[in-house]
Amino acid sequence: MDDETRAAPRQGNDLVPLRHDSLRRAAPAVQHEVNNAMMVLASNLEMLGRSAAEGAPRRQLDRALEAARRLDATVRGYLDAARREAEEPALASPTAVLQQALPLLRVALGGRYGFDVEAEGGESLPAIRLDRARLDLALLRLVQHAARVMPAGSRIAARGERRAGTEEVALVLRLPPGAEPAGEVAALLAEAAGATGGRLERAPGGIALVWPRAP
Q: Has residue 210 got a pLDDT over 90? A: yes
Question: Using one digit for the tens of pLDDT, what is the confidence trace for 54-98?
Answer: 888 778 888 888 888 888 888 888 888 777 777 788 898 898 889
Q: Are 115 and 105 in contact (CB under 8 A)?
A: yes
SS3 content of the chain, % helix, strand, coil (to 5): 55, 20, 30
Of 1 and 99, more confident: 99
Question: Using one digit for the tens of pLDDT, what is the confidence trace for 23-66?
Answer: 777 778 877 888 888 888 888 888 877 777 788 877 888 888 88
Residue type, 107: V
Q: Count other Cβ atoms within 10 Å, centred on residue 93.
A: 18
Q: Are 101 and 75 in contact (CB under 8 A)?
A: no
Distance between CA 89 and CA 133 in Å, rounded?
Answer: 8
